[in-house]
Amino acid sequence: MNLRLASLLLAVLTMAACSEQKAPESATPATPAATAPAATTAPAPTAATPAPAATPVAAEPEAPNTNPIVPPQGPEPVAGTDYEEIAGGQPYLPLDGKIEVVEVFGYVCPACASFHPVVSEWEKKLPADVRFTYVPAPFGPEWIPYAKGFYVAESMGLVKRSHDALINAIHAQHTMPGEGDKPDEQKIANFYAGYGANAAQFLAAMNSFAVSSKVNRGKQFMLRAGVEATPTLVINGKYRVTGGRGWEDKLRIADHLIARERAAAGKGG
């Protein structure tokens, strides 16, 4: 891909909006900021003074995944209608032999909040050969701080404990900034402090080079996969789910594409 084409794709990506399947909402995310907002209570890291590393928080060990492989239900998905094949598509992260399911999402996205309880129940039933991964979309000023916060929380082992609560705080309780609200990095750091993080360290880590690199990596994955709205599911980096008459139907399509990848790898089920 030449530089001119990559720049054009990035311009399209920044104009993408959170889209809800049944009742689309008009949303116009602002163009992503070139730099993150300045921290108000902790200095941004510089080349001479690296940001302090966020200290991981101890997490409870997870029970082994014993979910059975279940054949997909319903009709086979149709290319061009239910999904798009991604030319030369690659997974977001190394798979260790597992089939990757990425949900590109945004914490401030109303459709993602609607999709979340459905996809969460589906995720709990995925067999051990499938890995579910979140990639936060940095579509605009309200989205970027949450994307940065996600990667810091991920490095600390806090996502599973805090993910549902953050969505609830934004969309149900309205105690955290949402779409159209002024971004507030300090408030995000304070939120994660409620889960054991040090707020000052968390805020500094949000503005670190390491986190900026992760945000850019997620953005590049979205460009390669052709993701222009949220929520979007990408299977093994090869298929982008585009259809479905509702959230459950979108997951039916994903089930079939997962089974297709399992068969291509010569696995049973």
Q: How far is CA 144 from CA 20, 25, 46, in A?
A: 20, 20, 20
Q: How far is CA 241 from CA 172, 196, 248, in A?
A: 27, 36, 12
- Domain count of the fold of the chain: 1
Task: Report the amino acid identity of residue 118.
Answer: V
Q: Is residue 244 part of a domain?
A: yes
Q: Is residue 64 part of a domain?
A: no
Q: Is residue 52 part of a domain?
A: no
CA 160, 161, 165, 166 dihedral sign is: negative
Q: Is residue 47 part of a domain?
A: no
Cβ contacts of residue 165 below 8 Å, gap of 6+?
Answer: none
| pLDDT at site 267 | 65
The whole-angstrom distance between residue 207's C-alpha and the CA centroid of its chain comes to 19
| pLDDT at site 65 | 83
| pLDDT at site 58 | 55
What is the pTM assigned to this prediction? Answer: 0.80
pLDDT tens figures, 122-170 = 999 999 999 999 999 999 999 999 999 999 999 999 999 999 999 999 9
* CATH (domain of 161): 3.40.30.10
Q: Is residue 116 part of a domain?
A: yes
Q: CA angle, 252 as apex, 248 and 257 as ends, to 5°?
A: 145
For residue 159, give its domain range: 78-264
Q: Is residue 195 part of a domain?
A: yes
Q: Is residue 30 part of a domain?
A: no
Q: Is residue 72 part of a domain?
A: no
Task: For residues 49 and 181, give the distance between their C-alpha atoms in angstroms, rounded to a whole number.
Answer: 31
Task: For residues 194 and 183, give the distance between their C-alpha atoms in angstroms, rounded to a whole number.
Answer: 19
By the 10 Å C-beta count (0-12 exposed, 13-18 middle, 19+ buried), 185 is classed as buried
pLDDT along the chain (269 residues), means of 10: 42 49 36 36 40 59 81 95 96 90 98 98 96 96 98 97 98 96 97 98 98 98 97 98 96 98 79
Residue reference for tokens 């086979």: 76
CA 246, 233, 122, 74 dihedral sign is: positive
Tokens of 63: 């029970």
